[in-house]
Structure 1
């Protein structure tokens, strides 16, 4: 079946079913290998080949670019939500004791 792969050198970064700029047309039998677009398959001699070294590098937990920044934002948002919840509790207590 025809697919279109985005390559980084010979490493498959993405695979789609329609032509797109920057993607190369390839014939790959289906079903596609699980994780073919996870960054640990290479396109070699007209075939998708699993590269265990890329797979182990990927599984070592190398942070995705921008993940640290996202974690900081989530943490700040959680702190703000906790602060707002405490303010709401204070308002409810004031209302309850005022009546």
Structure 2
């Protein structure tokens, strides 16, 4: 775990600057939540993929680029069912 924290801290320093650059490029307001999210998720994806193995980065970026519904069509695993099960479990706790 320690090896994952060091790159994360280094990248986190630049997250806001990259999000601002993306916002400027697409003419979104500075501080746009979607721009901040895409940068955050993209940086985290690299770290997550290191633990998941071959092909995982492509799957993660497909999810980021196309959303949950599109990504669930790209795999035999029923992600929609997984999401529903997680939501139901969370609701039962409350």
Provide TM-score, normalisation by structure 1.
0.23
Structure number with bigger Rg: 1
Normalized per residue, the structure richer in helix is 2
Normalized per residue, the structure richer in strand is 1
Provide TM-score, normalisation by structure 2.
0.24
